[in-house]
């Protein structure tokens, strides 16, 4: 598996975890207790809910930055899924001036 594809998967998973933590922060910070016969009382810890939201936002931003780095690599550097870059051919191609017959240095 290529590095960029692994980063794409990692960024997606971390973003999904961050989104889930952010949406379900209230449920994770709630405590339910039995209150009488058949009734339950639930309380939510506001500080714990805020902590879950902050952790979720950090995960969401980390995952989004990984996804942005992968998108930048694929678009700017023209990476395809095989991992080869089209820019490599541009960097190592001989310039037109050197390939012209009049500018070549003869060994005579």
pLDDT score recorded for residue 105:
55
- Measured from the Cβ of residue 25, the count of other Cβ atoms closer than 10 Å reads 21
Give the model confidence (pLDDT) of 4-24 as tens digits: 888 899 999 999 999 999 999
pLDDT score recorded for residue 14:
95
d(CA 57, CA 23): 10
pLDDT score recorded for residue 52:
93
User: Of 10 and 104, which is predicted with more confidence?
Assistant: 10
| Residue ranges covered by each domain of the chain | 3-103
Average pLDDT over residues 72-100: 57
pLDDT score recorded for residue 79:
47
């Amino acid at each position: 598996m290529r590095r960029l594809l692994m980063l794409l998967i990692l960024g997606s998973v971390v973003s999904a975890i961050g989104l889930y933590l952010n949406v379900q922060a209230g449920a994770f910070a709630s405590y339910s207790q039995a209150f009488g016969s058949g009734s339950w009382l639930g309380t939510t810890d506001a500080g714990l809910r805020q902590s879950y939201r902050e952790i979720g936002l950090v995960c969401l931003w980390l995952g989004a930055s990984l996804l942005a780095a992968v998108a930048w690599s694929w678009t700017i550097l023209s990476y395809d899924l095989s991992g080869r870059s089209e820019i490599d051919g541009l960097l190592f191609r001989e310039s037109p001036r050197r390939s012209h017959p009049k500018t070549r240095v003869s060994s005579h």
